[in-house]
Amino acid sequence: MPSSKPEPSIRPDPTNRPTPPEAPELIWLRPERTGRGPRPAHSRDSIAAAAIGIADTEGLDAASMRRVAAALGAGTMSLYNYVPKKEHLLDLMLDAVAAEYRLPPEPSGDVRADLTDLAHQQLAIFRRHPWAPALVLARPGIGPNALRYTDHFLAVTAPTGLGGGLRMEAMALFNGFVCQFAQYEQTAAAGAKWQAEMVGYLGQAAASGEYPHLAQAFATAGPPADPDQAFDRTLNRVISAILAPTEEG
């Protein structure tokens, strides 16, 4: 028999609310615009361009969110609506720099020539943006322009017959060499006194007789090499290593 007592009303528990989905960590998974509301005053491209301008002239540390916001004439907190984290800003900067590659629609088929051109483009980009090599090594870019570069590299190296994994390893070797060379150039240019002292110190060590192989290298080294010639010589060795057949290939 049904109870004559009224059933208690069910009231929603304000504490029992669904947890909103966590925002993606990668900025590339976050939509730039939701499609609602007024048109934004800024864009990821304009923010990245402002940050790059600061980093090129004053170094990467100077490209703070506050400085970038000031360059754009925006409030610092408003910038976080476009770029939620400083790491996201770095990702945008690297991908904007990667847009500077001039990649042909298709590789020429000459793997060595195509890789040489790619390396020269990369070194030129790093010379224009001295902050970029260290950032590439610490936080490799995976934005749309970086993926375009990656896809081109894989297309260029397809004639080697190496599998996709080995070609990705080859790209890491290739990029790492260019980054390290660019960083060495910066160190040499910024520390002429240190360079001179290092050469003198190594000369003394070689003359001591304790390091016979170093002494032999110094005796046959000749004058300092032109940076571009040194780059091409070492690049040829790196490309030869990429082209060498492997058991896994």
Q: Is the pLDDT of residue 140 over 60?
A: yes
Region of residue 22 (left: phi > 0; alpha: psi -120 to 50; beta: else): beta
Q: Stretch 66-85: mean pLDDT, rounded?
A: 91
- As a whole number of angstroms, the distance between CA 58 and CA 38 comes to 34
Q: What is the pLDDT of residues 152-207, one digit of tens each?
A: 999 999 999 999 999 999 999 999 999 999 998 888 766 666 677 777 787 888 78
Q: Stretch 123-137: mean pLDDT, rounded?
A: 95
**What is the DSSP code (8-state) at residue 38?**
S
CA 151 to centroid of chain Cα atoms: 15
What is the per-residue pLDDT for 223?
67
Instruction: Report the share of the chain in percent with pLDDT over 90.
Output: 55
Mean pLDDT is highest, among 77-86, 133-142, 232-241, for 232-241
Q: What is the pLDDT of residues 196-244, one digit of tens each?
A: 777 778 788 878 888 888 788 877 776 667 888 999 999 999 999 999 8
Helices (H), 64-163: 65-72, 76-79, 86-98, 111-128, 132-138, 144-156
Q: Which residue has the tokens 């790093």?
A: 126
Q: Stretch 89-113: mean pLDDT, rounded?
A: 96
- As a whole number of angstroms, the distance between CA 175 and CA 115 comes to 11
